[in-house]
Chain A
């Protein structure tokens, strides 16, 4: 659920990055690392920024930059996507490698996971082949201690030939040392030579053949040994990158092509062709990492590992996996509904009391009645609705969801659901992007970059809006509470509401599967592709920090967006209600025009109009609806949801209308931000249009079928 300004804002889709230095002497430092090693946490701790973090791999989907100062010098830190390798097999590996090779960083910090150092060293060794200005940051030391892992970092540093610094980024420990080590490394006139990966003899011979020809030409400070290796592993992406960024056609350089064919011939003689050759290169890296770790990593018996397995047996086993998943969803909703009710009423009372004062104030200042109506009844009232109806559930739902995310539960959801995604010929990581969609569909769609296969990525993008985003939750909650949870104790009411809401969400998830299946058997035909899903260790969430962070980063951001859209929308609604054509208000004319069609869908013209005006932000659908109904007739002061129910019932709502509105809220066009994000991500109007039509047609069909059957009885 990567909902921050960065993830949905400008530049979210662009993979290019312009570095912003504040002083000439600033240094550019790249932060590289495997997925889920706390790279973004290190980045945030250093720069004081709020790049989204969470306990699941693949959150950083494009480069992000931040600024930090240490000992009087400025550093531009660049957070590059997490990857296992720099061989550019996937999009994130290519972004990472391109930045290290062509982004001209002064130094690279490779962040490693102390609990699984050996695997992380693969990336360290590959980075060292490109540059020697490297500091290795062994992060998650606290977690390693708990797991009984001890490291001899002095020996590690000796063997790698570069500084090694231990950190606990969550507790901000070791970061000062990290930056000092980086600076020291950069200032050293003759830094120590880093370890060189030893390949098997024929490969080494082929490398020296190529190196001697590469050494004669200008390589833009890229090491000849590394370029030789990439030529040998037939890395097309590298040749393209060299041309694109450095305007250098490697194969046309004098002598290179000849040397390459000699080297090829040599390797072919030893049976090192195609896949076998790549195997030999990767095996050497992995074995060297293994050798370096021998005597550096000590594993003592610990209970943490056993604890994780016990949790996994409960959360992902056959008997309990699914029930717990549904129960967790219901509990989150229950807490949201119960917790939001009281503050919501309080906010409404306060804000509507203020409205009276504003009206009086405006009239006192001599404002004409139309201006008073426009500002107080139009703009301010809509804003008040948005804040009082939307803010409390958001402020509770976001932190709860973030806690689950920090704990490491989301990858388990993907693990549990993957079989069903496979049946739909889609990727299991779609479960992750679906979960992100609960926060914000636009963020979910950007997150789809974690899916490697373009076909499966498109499926995930097109179906993302089938799960309701946070802008739609309050709508669903409000309608559920008003129409379906009647008499009974407060506890019963909120529990019933949570169960019904869970049912609606499950319906959304079922539709995600059905439409994924539909897409992959029609316009996006294909077989499910291979993928690996890492299940990270459980981490104890930092509860206080999570709450503060999710309120400031997400809730206020989303609310700000809703408010900025709600103000003009309130204005439009007020004008429509008060400007008359042929004795009828514009509102009546428009809703009257939409009414026949809306009736077919079990709704009315005003509801459909509210959905249309809510295109910029789903949060404002209910407020617009209320405004429209109230401007037409009696003005009811907000006392409780019951008062709202009365307004709706007076305007002809019954339970069928309520169900249809909920269905349509679940399945209709994505909001404008989401549509724009879909276009940015797919670069295609065709797919953007399909992503609008798919949920809209689904919603229309669902509403029409439901309404017409229900009206029979």
Chain B
């Protein structure tokens, strides 16, 4: 897979970093994600998976935010 391939945030392995390309979720969740800094070009790092593998904690703009797999599948990154 090339480095510039668009893929869901959920596909990142622990320790991998990518940039936000676009958000597929709508409504309140879209707003919340934007408020905490998920906008185009923002760097996101996949930091830590929970014991059950879901949710996963991501570092975004200095904060650690956990997202469920359904939600991280709706964030596209490059």
Contacts and interface: CB of A to CB of B under 8 A. Distances in A.
Interface of A: 84-85, 87, 89-90, 115-119, 122, 275, 278-279, 282-283, 286-287, 309, 312-313, 316-318, 321-322, 415-416, 418-420, 422, 428, 452, 528, 530-537
B61 A119 contact: yes
Contacts of A279: 30, 34, 39
Contacts of A452: 28
Given A532-B65, A534-B65, A316 B48 contact: yes
Interface in B40-65: 40, 42, 47-55, 57, 61-65
B48 A416 contact: no
B50 A416 contact: yes
Contacts of A531: 29, 68, 71
Contact of A283 (B26, B34, B52, B66): B34
A582 B32 CA distance: 69
For the residues of B in contact with A, the DSSP-based class is mixed
Give the 6 A-B CB pairs with smallest separation, nearest first: A116-B62, A321-B51, A419-B52, A530-B29, A84-B35, A533-B66
B65 A418 contact: no
Contacts of A322: 51
Contacts of A536: 64
For A316, A317, A530, the residue with the greatest tally of chain B CB atoms inside 10 Å of its CB is A530
Interface string B18-44: 000000011011111111110110100
Given A116-B62, A275-B26, A535-B65, A84 B50 contact: no
Contacts of A415: 50, 55, 57, 66
Contact of A318 (B25, B30, B51): B51
A578 B3 CA distance: 84
A416 B54 contact: no
A530 B32 CA distance: 10
Nearest to A320: B51
A275 B64 CA distance: 26
A536 B35 CA distance: 17
For B28, B35, B54, B57, the residue with the greatest tally of chain A CB atoms inside 10 Å of its CB is B35
B49 A318 contact: yes
Contacts of A309: 47-48
Nearest to B74: A530
A498 to B, nearest CB: 23
A282 B28 contact: no
Contacts of B55: 415, 418-419, 428, 533
Contacts of A422: 54, 68
A85 B34 CA distance: 10
Nearest to A287: B39
Nearest to B33: A532
A278 B27 CA distance: 10
Nearest to B60: A119
Contacts of A416: 50-52
Contacts of B49: 317-318
B12 interface: no
B78 interface: no
B67 interface: yes
Contacts of B62: 115-119
B51 A317 contact: yes
A528 B52 CA distance: 17
Given A418-B54, A422-B54, A428-B55, A530 B61 contact: no
B54 A316 contact: no
Contacts of A116: 61-63
A283 B65 contact: no
A362 to B, nearest CB: 60
A84 B67 CA distance: 16
Contact of A316 (B39, B50, B71): B50
For B25, B49, B51, the residue with the greatest tally of chain A CB atoms inside 10 Å of its CB is B51
B12 to A, nearest CB: 16
B47 A278 contact: no
A41 to B, nearest CB: 18
Nearest to B40: A283
16 contacts: A87-B35, A309-B48, A316-B50, A316-B51, A318-B51, A415-B57, A416-B51, A418-B52, A418-B55, A428-B55, A530-B29, A531-B29, A531-B68, A534-B36, A534-B63, A536-B64
A278 B63 contact: no
A118 B32 CA distance: 16
A534 B47 CA distance: 13
Contacts of B70: 528, 530
Contacts of A316: 48, 50-51, 57
A84 B32 contact: yes
A316 B33 CA distance: 23
B50 A419 contact: yes
Contacts of B29: 530-531
A127 B48 CA distance: 33
A238 to B, nearest CB: 15
Given A85-B31, A419-B54, A532-B32, A119 B37 contact: yes
A56 B22 CA distance: 29
B53 to A, nearest CB: 7
A420 B52 contact: yes
Contacts of A275: 26, 30
A279 B39 CA distance: 9
Contacts of B31: 85, 87, 89, 278, 282
Nearest to A286: B39
A663 B10 CA distance: 42
